[in-house]
Amino acid sequence: MKKTISTLALLAATLLAGAQSTVSLTIAGLPDGTVIEAALGSTHADEPPLASATLAGGKATLTVPVAEPRMIDFRAKGVPGTLLHLMTGQGERVTASVAADSTESDGVTYYMGKGEQVYDSPLHAQYMMKLGAFKKFLEIYNGAYHDAYRDINRQISAAYAAKDSAKMARLRASETWKEFMACDAQFFNLIEKRYNELFAENDSTWWGPFMRLDVYSYFTPENKADYECLSASAQSSYYGRLLKELVDPKGLKGQDYPRFSVLDANGKTTPSDKIAKGRKYLLVDFWASWCKPCRNEIPNLKACYDQYKNKGLQIVSISLDRSDAAWKKALKEEQLPWPNGVDRSRIADAYKVQSIPAMFLVDVKTGKIIAEGLRGQLLRDKLAELMK
């Protein structure tokens, strides 16, 4: 019996040890001491790190737990952006190099990888042949025709900024602008045609759902056909199940609202039950500094809050910003008068948030979500109904 147990234990340990990929990275453009994280990619969720390592001499080696083929994103801890988008699986020992390209937007620094080279990964080679190479081609194609028509685009942007509608009309009537628009249409027609061909070629395996997740930014119930066209095995795969959840969301109405704790700008954590205490309704609002529709909705939220805060309404806003600096800058600009914080504990995943703004109205007494997807007039109407 002891021998059998020992043999089973050894077998289990061997299987466990093989359920991983070892990735040796060389990264240019980042200082030593930078923590490099590996997390699942193409899942449409804010994934926690699976592994991490500290950059030393421009190098880092990460052991990533993967039992099946998975897309893994490598990033610098605490900095938005993806340094390397790598398909890998158990047993692979991958060597890769990449340069960190630093860009800024609204005062926030982002790192994006460029010039990546990947060796000793048959799975990544498959990814590049099936999809990655075409995506690279599109980047080059898009850059080429935009560079060719850079001057007319600059003139259009300047006229727009100056609110010179007459000049904009003249520029858009020019042959140069018409040529640019023809190139633009040709580019997007190519994208639609070729992606549809690639999806159809791979719909019998897990590559089919994965490719859609890798290409598209978000899904709605209108995208159900993207799931229904898959084979049974593709639907039951890891990526097939992820796609199913996105195109056929069950919704949270009628369910207990997922409790959470809010991390505010001062580093203080407050439980949602405490925020809602003494109120009739709690509006959970997911937003981000970079989301224009979210920020356009804030005046409506302020009006609702002013009207109903003394009648039992509480609002809590949860930012999905990865950058604390961008979030705090937006807070200073917006001056939200209700509790707010940043999502550092995957609150959005608990609410199955796919796109923002996303709002959930909670009946505090029952703890049930009574409405979701409210914005603008729909939100005002619902609150007026409840606050009669």
Q: Walk along the chain (388 residues) and give the pLDDT tens digit of each residue.
A: 333 344 444 334 434 456 999 999 999 999 999 999 999 999 988 888 999 999 999 999 999 999 999 999 999 998 888 999 999 999 999 999 999 998 876 666 788 999 999 999 999 999 999 999 999 999 999 999 999 999 999 999 999 999 999 999 999 999 999 999 999 999 999 999 999 999 999 999 999 999 999 999 888 888 999 999 999 999 999 999 999 999 988 889 999 999 999 999 999 999 999 999 999 999 999 999 989 999 999 999 999 999 999 999 999 999 998 888 889 999 999 999 999 999 988 899 899 888 899 999 999 999 999 999 888 999 999 999 999 8
Please tell me the predicted confidence (pLDDT) of residue 218. 82
- Displacement of CA 146 from its chain's centroid (Å): 26
Look up residue 56 and give its DSSP letter: B
Is domain 11-119 annotated with CATH 2.60.40.1120?
A: yes
Residue spans in the chain of domains classed CATH 3.40.30.10: 255-387
Residue 214: exposed, middle, or buried by beta-carbon count in 10 A (0-12, 13-18, 19+)? buried
User: Residue 349: what residue type?
Assistant: D
Please tell me the predicted confidence (pLDDT) of residue 116. 95
Please tell me the predicted confidence (pLDDT) of residue 2. 36
357: cis peptide before it, omega within 30°? yes
Please tell me the predicted confidence (pLDDT) of residue 13. 42
Task: Round to the nearest angstrom and report the end-to-end CA distance of the chain.
Answer: 72
Is domain 255-387 annotated with CATH 3.30.1280.10?
A: no
Please tell me the predicted confidence (pLDDT) of residue 18. 63
Half-sphere exposure of 222 (CA within 13 A, CB side): 2
The two three-digit tokens of residue 352, written as one number: 């199955």
Please tell me the predicted confidence (pLDDT) of residue 105. 67
| Residue 335 falls in which region: left (phi positive, over 0), alpha (psi -120 to 50) or beta | left
Please tell me the predicted confidence (pLDDT) of residue 14. 37
Pair 156, 177: CB distance under 8 Å: yes
Residue 202, classed as helix, strand or coil, is: coil
Please tell me the predicted confidence (pLDDT) of residue 7. 40
Within 8 A by CB and 6+ apart from 286, the residues are: 317, 318, 320, 343, 348, 351, 353, 356, 357, 358, 359
DSSP string, 289-335: TT-HHHHHHHHHHHHHHHHHGGGTEEEEEEE--S-HHHHHHHHHHH-
Residue spans in the chain of domains classed CATH 2.60.40.1120: 11-119
Give ∠ CA 163-164-167 in degrees, rounded to 5.
150
Please tell me the predicted confidence (pLDDT) of residue 104. 76
Please tell me the predicted confidence (pLDDT) of residue 138. 96
Q: Are strands 93-105 and 20-28 parallel, antiparallel or unpaired?
A: parallel
Instruction: Return the exposure string of 290-304: e unless at least 16 CB atoms fall within 10 Å of the residue's CB, then b.
Output: bbeebbebbeebbeb
What is the four-CA torsion angle of 332, 338, 344, 349, rounded to 10 degrees? -130
For residues 215 and 127, give the distance between their C-alpha atoms in angstroms, rounded to a whole number: 12
For residues 312 and 290, give the distance between their C-alpha atoms in angstroms, rounded to a whole number: 30
Closest CA to 215 of 192, 245, 237: 192
Give the count of beta carbons closer than 10 Å to the beta carbon of residue 360. Answer: 22
